[in-house]
Amino acid sequence: MSVLDAILEGVREDLERRRSETPLAELRARAADAPPALDPMPAFLEPGVSIIAEVKRRSPSKGDLADIPDPASLAAEYAAGGAAAVSVLTERRRFGGSLADLDAVRARVEVPVLRKDFIVDPYQVWEARAHGADLALLMVVSLDGSLLADLMGLCREVGLTPLVESHTADELERAVDAGATLLGVNARDLTTLDVDRSVFARLAPLMPEGAVRVAESGVAGPQDVAEYRRWGADVVLVGEALVRSGDPRASVGRFIETANAQVAS
Ligand SMILES: O=P(O)(O)OC[C@@H](O)[C@@H](O)c1c[nH]c2ccccc12
């Protein structure tokens, strides 16, 4: 079984537990009461690189990354440093996240918030909106047949902007065919956990005009953000390097400045 399959098995078990505790009707009512979702696209389309800064405690590839006792304060530092959006990993078993983290971050920051999880069921889209997310990650690799288009449609219906993630040219083609305009490339192969940032360089030219290009994973420092930018990234999503930096606010600022200075010159 691949790493991804093992993760998805746990995700589905956890999902069924939550579904038995909170009926869909209740989530829908909470989503209806939530303030409307923010549109992240204007900030992503501004000149210069945008950063999505991630709240990430651990990962299957690296184990424990950071304690993060107060995810809201971390998110506030990200926003103060200039992050265009904050990503919150809500997967529990492998990443140590929760919907409580999403609630806490949502309550603190005014920038758009991404629910980062392994979304395979409409219930999770309703959860994302009920807990105040503005964007939701949809991974093409785990959404067969019409499920990708169905979940994208539901995202739009509830006001969420789907960030549709690929790792191969075939996956990217499915994302584009389904109508995705916020296109992510994960440099990490979730079946093996190997990271290769040049995957973004190969896939970015295949993206249609007008798409917003998001480079995800594998950033160790400002030079990597600058390289993604040179390869055509509008947005770079960074987790580990920021949660480990010791000064997330300054790091976000440095990432943005370095990339913009290098690409302008
Ligand atoms: O910590 P990194 O290498 O900066 O990566 C962040 C982010 O891209 C990564 O967490 C991620 C990208 N796509 C995902 C899908 C599920 C879980 C996690 C991810």
Using alpha carbons only, give the angle 262, 86, 155 rounded to the nearest 5 degrees.
Answer: 115
Q: Are 143 and 122 in contact (CB under 8 A)?
A: no
Domain count, the chain: 1
Cα 217 to ligand 1 centroid, rounded to whole Å: 5
Q: What percent of the chain has pLDDT over 70?
A: 100
Q: Which amino acid residue places its CA nearest to atom 13 of ligand 1?
A: 186
- Reported confidence tier of residue 263, pLDDT bands at 50, 70, 90: confident
- Reported confidence tier of residue 265, pLDDT bands at 50, 70, 90: low
pLDDT number for residue 27? 97
Whose structure tokens read 């010159």? 265
What is the average per-residue pLDDT within 69-80?
Answer: 98
Q: Which amino acid residue places its CA nearest to atom 8 of ligand 1?
A: 217
Q: Is 127 a catalytic residue?
A: no
- Rounded Cα distance, 26 and 239, in Å: 32
User: Is 217 touching ligand 1 by the criterion CB < 6 Å?
Assistant: yes
- Rounded Cα distance, 194 and 177, in Å: 27
87 Cβ contact partners less than 8 Å away, ≥ 6 residues apart: 52, 53, 54, 55, 56, 113, 114, 116, 137, 237, 239
Domain coverage including residue 140: 3-262
Cα 239 to ligand 1 centroid, rounded to whole Å: 6
pTM, full prediction: 0.98
Buried b (16+ CB within 10 A) or exposed e, 203-230: bbeebeeebbbbbbbbbeebebbbbbbe
Q: Which amino acid residue places its CA nearest to atom 5 of ligand 1?
A: 217
- Reported confidence tier of residue 132, pLDDT bands at 50, 70, 90: very high
Q: Which member of 217, 227, 240, 251 is catalytic?
A: 217
Q: How many of the other CB atoms lie within 10 Å of CB of 257?
A: 16
CATH number reported for the structural domain that contains residue 73 in this entry: 3.20.20.70
Mutating to test ligand 1, I would choose from 4, 54, 124 the residue with most ligand atoms within 8 A of its C-beta, which is: 54
What pLDDT, in 10s, does the model give residues 157-190?
A: 999 999 999 999 999 999 999 999 999 999 999 9
- Rounded Cα distance, 18 and 170, in Å: 33
User: Is 224 touching ligand 1 by the criterion CB < 6 Å?
Assistant: no
Q: Which amino acid residue places its CA nearest to atom 16 of ligand 1?
A: 117
